[in-house]
Amino acid sequence: MKFFIDTAEIDQIRELADTGMVDGVTTNPSLIAKSGRNFIEVIAEIAEIVPGPVSAEVTATDADAMIAEGRELAKIGDNIAVKVPLTWAGLKTCRVLSDEGRMVNVTLCFSANQALLAAKAGASFISPFIGRLDDIGLDGMELIADIREIYDNYDFETEILAASIRTVNHVQQCAQVGADVITAPPAIIKSLVKHPLTDKGLDAFLADWAKTGQTILKG
């Protein structure tokens, strides 16, 4: 499963990219607004740091303007995935841009039927929002499983990019049901390594090693 980071904070992206665990980045206008920087400049900088897909979202709502914005965003780099909302205008934009050979991430997916439409429109990625479904009492993970079944039934190449990841359990569950990608805030990605028994075991090893008075590296 691929790990994308859901942030526009350059320092956080660099830090995690250095671990080799980052396969891509997702952004949106809200995340970039928080950075206080120029939208195009931020996307371009991220695209240079991360070789994998970098999602950059259009802000228009009608198809012609979305297509124009998408083409402009795609000029930033070969690894730009144009992000469009799951509306009829967004699906039309997806079809046009994907036919031109551009990556498209269709976002704000909340049903399997919507995911089916996105795949038929040629989406590179479909972004179902797990946490937001959980917030209203629905099962976000069930949606991931439903999409996985449908896509496998018809050999759709669209990758399931699970979004609105709130917990480390979401990450594990997504892997179990077959999501191709998860995108999560840096804090969630960092938390995946944590376990109290790991910390306890390491402390014990270090204490025992200190008693020996030895070093591995020669001064």
Positions marked catalytic: 83
User: Other CB atoms closer than 10 Å to residue 25's CB: what's the count?
Assistant: 27
Of 114, 73, 113, give the one whose Cα is nearest residue 97. 73
Task: Return d(Cα 39, Cα 53) in angstroms, integer.
Answer: 17
β-pair type (103-109, 159-162): unpaired
Token pair 């780099």: residue: 77
Token pair 């972004």: residue: 127
Q: Are 98 and 124 in contact (CB under 8 A)?
A: yes
Helices and strands (H and E) in the chain: how many: 11, 8
Instruction: Give the three-class secondary structure for 78.
Output: coil
Task: Return d(Cα 87, Cα 93) in angstroms, integer.
Answer: 10
Task: Return d(Cα 107, Cα 86) in angstroms, integer.
Answer: 6
Q: Classify residue 212 by burial, with Cβ atoms within 10 Å: 0-12, 13-18, 19+.
A: exposed
